[in-house]
Structure 1
Amino acid sequence: MRSVKICLNLLFKRCLSINKSSIHYAKQQPRNLKGKSKSSQEWLTRQLSDPYVEKAHMMNYRCRSAFKLLEIDDKYHLMQPGYTVIDCGAAPGSWTQVAVERTNANGKQEKKPLGSVISIDLLHFHAVPGAVIYGGMDFTSAVAQQRLKESLAGRRVNCVLSDMAPNATGVRMLDQESITNLCYEVLRFALAMSGPDANLVVKVWDNGDVPKLEKTMLQHYEKVKRVKPRASRGDSAEHFLVARGFRGT
């Protein structure tokens, strides 16, 4: 009888632990959707069911886009301790966080070279320890680019990152043209400020002008690869052009 009671007790505890586990991992459902547009409701639902959103919270990244850069850098080794990195369109700062970690700009990797990260965005965003932040500045303006050059103080850049995208108008052709123009702005800056063997990452929305942009980048870099990280949502048209091995102009 005693052995039967012990078995039943163990079975009960096991069932209880399974129930607790299922409650813990159950998908969260968005609340307070009343009055919100359909697109807002879909965005909230998608955010709550997105594993990268939860992972970003757990790893203290400001948003899920950090995992796009982490995956790209893990594969192509664009940054390393001691590198100087420019992050364009940096808000809210998740790519800057990754760049600071990978270049050792925060000095946390003992006995490794100290890197430098300079970030800029049209929006203001909170400071990232180890990075120089320029918020409220338009990267495409001459004033902003001059400020970046002054911050470099004669140093050459090892990697230029751009997760920039224009505010969508809803007109596909105009939006594609706008983001392509941003890519060319970043490319021109990179060509002027990069050192030998430097790298470049720019975000594009897939369109007919991308092959031309790739061809232009190949004139100045050893390799150019079109990449869609796993963290990039499947229904998104975004890709990243990864250029490695700057050869000069």
Structure 2
Amino acid sequence: MNTSISTKSFIRVISTQNCLAKQIPRNLKGRSKSSQEWLTRQLADPYVEKAKMMNLRCRSAFKLIEIDDRFKILKPGDTVLDCGAAPGSWTQVAVDRTNANGTKEGNKKGAVFSIDLLHFHAVPGATIFGGMDFTTAIAQQRLREALADRQVNCVLSDMAPNATGVRMLDQENIMGLCYSVLRFALAMSAINAHLVVKLWANGDISKLENDLGRFYEHVKRVKPESSRSDSAELFLVARQYKGIDAVKEVTTKTR
């Protein structure tokens, strides 16, 4: 898998070749309006086509590619935890960039551990925990056992709850997921490790940013270009974990 090609250069090339001419989906009879709109958008989306060309499982891979190209959070030899990993596109990128599959000679071999509530197909080079709820004590204990003595260099979370349609409840649920990931990251990460969490634009972002800033040197809001413009999603990228001593110090001061 060659994930080194930039998203911008890809769009420029295929636009020049008129490969992105607007297509009208066929066989829409009987489909709902929302289904028709989704199919039309998929056909017009350059990232969907690029994902197929690069053998990536879905377009969301390019969000992580953009984040890593900008912030350099993944490197050969790293140990990575991917939360909410199904169908596995972020895991594919993480495996490639950490050399977890051992295909890049001369580079250290990394390790990728991926978990999701859904079952999904194996990704060569990754350890998969499908059908497991990351937020449960049982799932987190399984991850600790699998990690053994390894400390994590990067924790990724593309998790999002099923939408209820009640905005305040949905916001509360996704923030809960972010804090669950953060707590696990604080316990399992190496010094200078990184963290990426997904959330939806809301008034609680500043609080989460401030909390991340207590434990990480740098925190940045990011909306990748490959994230659809009509989507409320964004990511917080926290870099350079200060270590458990910093966590203890903050905990002591806030008691």
**TM-score greater than 0.5 by the shorter chain:** yes
2:33 is aligned to: 38
TM (normalized to structure 2)?
Answer: 0.87
Give CA-to-partner distance per residue, 1:74-122, whole Å, 9 cap, x none: 0000010000000000000000000000100010110110000000000
Structure 1 stretches of 4+ with a deviation exceeding 6 A read none
**Once the 2 structures are TM-superposed, how far is the Cα of residue 56 of structure 1 from its aligned partner?**
0.4
The separation in 1 between residues aligned to 2:20 and 2:152, in whole angstroms, is: 44
8 Å contact from structure 2 (residues 25, 40) kept in 1: yes
The separation in 1 between residues aligned to 2:73 and 2:57, in whole angstroms, is: 21
- The DSSP-based 3-state class of the residue aligned with 1:219 is helix
The separation in 2 between residues aligned to 1:32 and 1:143, in whole angstroms, is: 45
1:83 is aligned to: 78
1:196 is aligned to: 191
Q: Kindly report which structure 2 residues correspond to 1:1-249, keeping only aligned pairs within 5 A, or say none.
A: 26-248=21-243, 249=247
Give CA-to-partner distance per residue, 1:30-56, whole Å, 9 cap, x none: 122222222111111111110000000
**Once the 2 structures are TM-superposed, how far is the Cα of residue 27 of structure 1 from its aligned partner?**
2.6
What is the Cα-based RMSD across aligned positions, in Å? Answer: 1.1
In structure 2, what residue type is equivalent to 1:115? G
**Once the 2 structures are TM-superposed, how far is the Cα of residue 25 of structure 1 from its aligned partner?**
5.0
The separation in 2 between residues aligned to 1:27 and 1:60, in whole angstroms, is: 23
The separation in 2 between residues aligned to 1:35 and 1:164, in whole angstroms, is: 32
Matched residue count? 228
- The DSSP-based 3-state class of the residue aligned with 1:177 is helix
The separation in 2 between residues aligned to 1:137 and 1:35, in whole angstroms, is: 35
The separation in 2 between residues aligned to 1:61 and 1:181, in whole angstroms, is: 29
In structure 1, what residue type is equivalent to 2:86? A
8 Å contact from structure 2 (residues 20, 44) kept in 1: no
The separation in 2 between residues aligned to 1:147 and 1:125, in whole angstroms, is: 17
Give CA-to-partner distance per residue, 1:143-177, whole Å, 9 cap, x none: 00000000001110000000000011111111111
The separation in 1 between residues aligned to 2:29 and 2:174, in whole angstroms, is: 34
In structure 1, what residue type is equivalent to 2:97? R
1:15 is aligned to: none
- The DSSP-based 3-state class of the residue aligned with 2:143 is helix
The separation in 1 between residues aligned to 2:104 and 2:208, in whole angstroms, is: 37
The separation in 2 between residues aligned to 1:105 and 1:239, in whole angstroms, is: 27
The separation in 2 between residues aligned to 1:182 and 1:221, in whole angstroms, is: 18
Is there any run of 5+ residues in structure 1 with no aligned partner, and where? 1-20
